Amino acid sequence: MSNKLFNSITVGDLTLPNRMVMAPMTRNRADQDNAPTNLNTKYYQQRAKAGLIITEASQVSAEGVGYPATPGIYNETQVAGWREVTDAVHAEGGHIFLQLWYCGRISHPDLLPDNQTPVAPSAIQPEGDAITFEGPKPFVTPRALETDEIAGIVEQYKHAAGMAKQAGFDGVEVHAANGYLIDQFLRDGSNHRTDQYGGNAENRMHLLNEVLDAVCEVWPAQRVGLRLTPENSFNAMSDSDPQTHFAYFISQLNSRKLAYLHILEGDMISKQRNFDYRSLRDGFDGFYMANNAYDKNRAEESLVNGDCDMVAFGVPFLANPDLVYRYQNDLALNEADQATFYGGDEHGYTDYPFADEASTQSA
């Protein structure tokens, strides 16, 4: 088998040493100020041999929070915490992008300033429960954003993009996936608006376009990635014709010359893939990053076939800080401990053994 997975790739003005990307994974280990800690720094530093790290999603404002103990990128305390992370990753020769996030209706008044109601494109209550500091609580019916409020949210993305630059990141990824605010606007199951932000696909893309315009005022486009999830039903999402709609969105993105397009392929809930991702990839002129349940062999096959340019790995990187080394040497992988995925301390976070540690212990 070829070793394309370990070939370098030049993305804009960044040369990445391999095509293995650490996918963004929420781990709920930020401090009470929603700032990264020394534990977060160690976690990312351990995984710095990835060709690129994309951080866990980080809210662009206090109003964008959707879960407990998730990091933000909107105040100086958070910038200082992230600066420790980026310095540590860069000291290991790594590259790291910050994922920009606004949860929208996937939140709860308990998590928001002054117990305000979460916002969304339309007042449609999602099925399921929000995760609060007191445990799961049913999602509430969100408040539909007024047209003149949307510019303020776009400005929050711009401010956060600037804070990410101050924190020393190599770039940012706009999170427009998995049922969060931008995705809520993109898909017609959650967007029933009748103004310029609703209706046809062109209108539903307005928020994404405005956010990308704002972020690209701070960062060159070649340092801005974008994540989309065309058929993911996670967070009660749906769309009447995702193949047509996302083909349109992609066609409109080509002129932007973004760093990459990051696609979660398939449905996280049903595990089904009923979408022609190759046509989506062929419709995009830039680098295509594939994600969702890839292992080494499947990733290599996809790269060789031209189905993607990079592959993002989630759980394998979580449980194997030295995943690149293990894949290069065909070594066994640590098994992930699902009980420690969200919240907690170093257990299931920074205590997964490296391959050389495991061999030393067994000798």
> Over 50: is that where the pLDDT of 224 sits?
yes
Span 161-187, mean pLDDT?
98
> Over 70: is that where the pLDDT of 363 sits?
no
Q: Which of 43, 180, 288, 352 is catalytic?
A: 180
pLDDT at 360: 43
pLDDT at 262: 98
What are the pLDDT digits (tens) for 241-293? 999 999 999 999 999 999 999 999 999 999 899 999 999 999 999 999 999 99
pLDDT at 356: 85
**For residue 134, how many other CB atoms are within 10 A of its CB?**
9
Its domain, for residue 184, covers: 4-362
pLDDT at 358: 54
Residue 10's alpha-carbon distances to 76, 216, 254, 298, 324, in angstroms, are 32, 20, 18, 22, 18
> Over 90: is that where the pLDDT of 17 sits?
yes
> Over 70: is that where the pLDDT of 359 sits?
no
- Listed in sequence order, the residues at least 6 apart from 153 whose beta carbon sits closer than 8 Å to its beta carbon are 61, 102, 145, 181, 207
pLDDT at 362: 42
pLDDT at 141: 98
180 an active-site residue?
yes
Percent of the chain predicted with pLDDT > 70: 98
Number of separate domains in the chain: 1
CATH of the domain at 70: 3.20.20.70
